Structure 1
Amino acid sequence: MRSERALIAHRSVVELHQWIEEIFTGRAGYPSALDQLLSSFSASFAMITMQGQTIGLSDVESLFRNNVGGRPQLRIEIDACETLLETESSVVCRYRETHHNGGTVQARWSLAIIDIPEGQPRWRYLHETGIAAS
């Protein structure tokens, strides 16, 4: 049985990607989704992108603000979410993220460190690795 922290982290994985989908598709609720998304990251957030670049929170914020509505057909599917490690303050999750965009499908494994201060998820680290098409 998953702990409360793990459930919060797994729920955050799903919600975060729902907000990303809303922003990239430019649906009517995207301003609220953008606020919720950006408030989900810790100030020290770092990410390793699919291209192997390390970026921080300001880069992530620019990415989302500059690409509102840029992928109107995007649908993101999250599955295979599992807890790899749990501490008193953080959960390390691995999940598969599949982007469906106008007939193109791209999948990746993602590993996230999510801090859970006072029951609120704050993403500290994300590492994405592409999955080769079979």
Structure 2
Amino acid sequence: MLSEKELISIAQQSVLDLHVWIQDVFTGSAAQDASLETLLKSFCPNFTMVTTTGSVVGQSQVENLFRQNKGTRPSLSISIEQCETLLVNANSVVLCYREIHQEAKTHTSRYSVVIIDIKDGQPLWRYLQETAASAQV
């Protein structure tokens, strides 16, 4: 059984890794195909996401989004800040983090809360809720 510290470390690394893979896919990097497959394996089959616009989407819709948008944002850069652990139990970690997107001269950010299940030491994203940050942030 993993310790609380190990669970948190796995979950936090998953947040960082997932956003690198997303950036690879959207920018069309040489690693986009491998990153896409690794990214898609990171979601539970019953994954649910609430987008910044309030739409609720499932795993299949998220997969379609990534597959249809490969290479469509070549200048995208994603960074993660303020990753905070909200809850840990034997099988899951809940994190809150700030995600910053920079593309050409556009800069946006959002706050996200994610539930990551840890199964056999592997992170699986179960739930994600994103909230757009105000322009002053």
TM-score of the pair, normalised by structure 1? 0.98
Query: Could you tell me how far 1:59 is from its partner in structure 2?
Result: 0.2
| Alignment equivalent of 2:56, drawn from 38, 54, 71 | 54
Work out the number of aligned pairs and report it. Answer: 133
Cα distance, 1:35 vs. partner?
A: 0.5
User: What is the aligned-residue RMSD (CA, Å)?
Assistant: 0.7
Partner of 2:15: 13
Q: Could you tell me how far 1:101 is from its partner in structure 2? A: 0.6
* Residues 55-87 of structure 1, C-alpha deviations (whole Å, 9 max, x = no match): 000000000000001100000010100110001
The alpha carbon displacement at 1:16 in A equals 0.1
Distance 2:31 2:13 in 1: 20
Give 2:100's aligned residue.
Answer: 98
The alpha carbon displacement at 1:124 in A equals 0.1
- 1:85 paired with 2:97, answer no
Q: Could you tell me which runs of 5 or more consecutive residues in structure 2 were left unpaired when the two chains were aligned.
A: none
Aligned AA (1:3)? K
Q: In the alignment, residue 76 of structure 2 is paired with which amino acid? A: L
Letter in 2 for 1:34: L
User: CA-to-partner distance for each residue in 1:98-119, whole Å, 9 max, x for gaps?
Assistant: 0001110000000000000110
Q: Name 1:114's counterpart in structure 2.
A: 116
Q: 2:77 aligns with which of 71, 75, 79?
A: 75
Q: Which runs of 4+ in 1 moved over 4 A?
A: none
One-letter amino acid of the structure 2 residue matched with residue 113 of structure 1 = I
Q: Which position in structure 1 is the counterpart of 2:39? A: 37
> Runs of 5+ in structure 1 lacking a partner?
none
Amino acid at match of 2:125: W
What is the percentage of aligned positions where both structures have the same residue?
Answer: 49
